Amino acid sequence: MKSIFYTRFFILLPWILIVIIVIDIDTKRLSVRNTASFYLSRLGNVQQQQRQVVRTTRSSSTSISSSSNSGSNATSLPVIYAITPTYSRAVQKAELTRLANTFRQVPQFHWIVVEDSNSHTELVSRFLARSGLRFTHLNVFTPRRFKRTGMPRATEQRNLALGWLRGHRSVKDKGVVFFADDDNTYSLALFEEMRSTRRVSVWPVGLVGGRRYERPLVEKGKVVGWYTGWKADRPFAIDMAGFAVNLQVILSNPRALFKRRGAKPGMQESDFLKQITKVEDLEPKAKNCTQVLVWHTRTEKVNLGNEPKRQQDSVYIEV
């Protein structure tokens, strides 16, 4: 009986071994496939991540490049030098605040503030330090004999600012000079108009000369006259806020200044402009001088009739 069992066992044993071997081979193949699939999938994920990183880097580079380009474009713009004479009065800080809120939005801007004072006042010094603007703070006192009613104002202050430009800027500097009085209101579009000034550019001014506006009259791109309600026979019948001058014109005409001796009210603009240009050479801006982008608003004179002559409040508040 045992001999028959062993005989059959040894007959079947090779076949059993063959089956075991085949099963083992299939199992290993499946394991290899799974392992290969695992690593291939990981490799695919890594490559995908690398592609994403490359895309992100390219995107970032493009963003940085665009940002750099916009920054370089901004710095390549001519600087606008706005000259603002100012003097101590109740509305001074309010006037300067209105201007600063506008000027802060203008790229490549340099504010030259000139006080009618023997020294820098604390109010203006603090204000400029907190303005967030690039600025130059100057001061010069106007002699009392030139402060009489009917005499031109801010002559010394404007001339001091012109002197500063001539002493601190050179032929390498690109810029446009603009006389920005502190009793005006300015559209941001005005600064983009004036920035392309080659020599002297002009435009309308609102609420001036007893009219809703004054403006240069333009035909075929040239100034041929003036629409004005006051002294139309002036060589340049224009308001101080109605023109800009290329910096190089200022530098190449070192004797061009605002006149004090013999100057008449309303003639400062003409006295200055005729030293550096001719009417036919003026560059009309603001859609051929048909668009008002600056207004001579003038803050209303404040009523301080109830203000005590001596300090009564327990604290001092700067207004």
Positions marked catalytic: 269
Enumerate the known binding-site residues: 85-87, 116, 153, 158, 181-183, 296-298
Q: Tokens 């079947």 label which residue?
A: 12
Q: Which residues are known binding-site members for UDP-alpha-D-glucuronate?
A: 85-87, 116, 153, 158, 181-183, 296-298
Q: How many CB atoms lie under 10 A from the CB of residue 297?
A: 15
How far, in Å, CA of 1 to CA of 21, rounded?
30
DSSP state of 198: S
274, 163 contact by CB (below 8 A)? no
Contact in structure between 231 and 238 (CB atoms under 8 Å): no
Strands 175-179 and 135-139: unpaired
Residues comprising the binding site for Mn(2+)? Answer: 183
Give the position of tokens 């030259």: 112
Strand partners, 243: 202
Residue 127: CB partners within 8 Å, gap ≥ 6?
Answer: 93, 96, 97, 100
Rounded-to-integer distance, Cα 295 and Cα 185, Å: 5
> How far apart (Å, rounded) are the C-alpha atoms in residues 111 and 82?
5
Using a 10 angstrom Cβ sphere, with 0-12 exposed, 13-18 middle and 19 or more buried, the burial of residue 188 is exposed
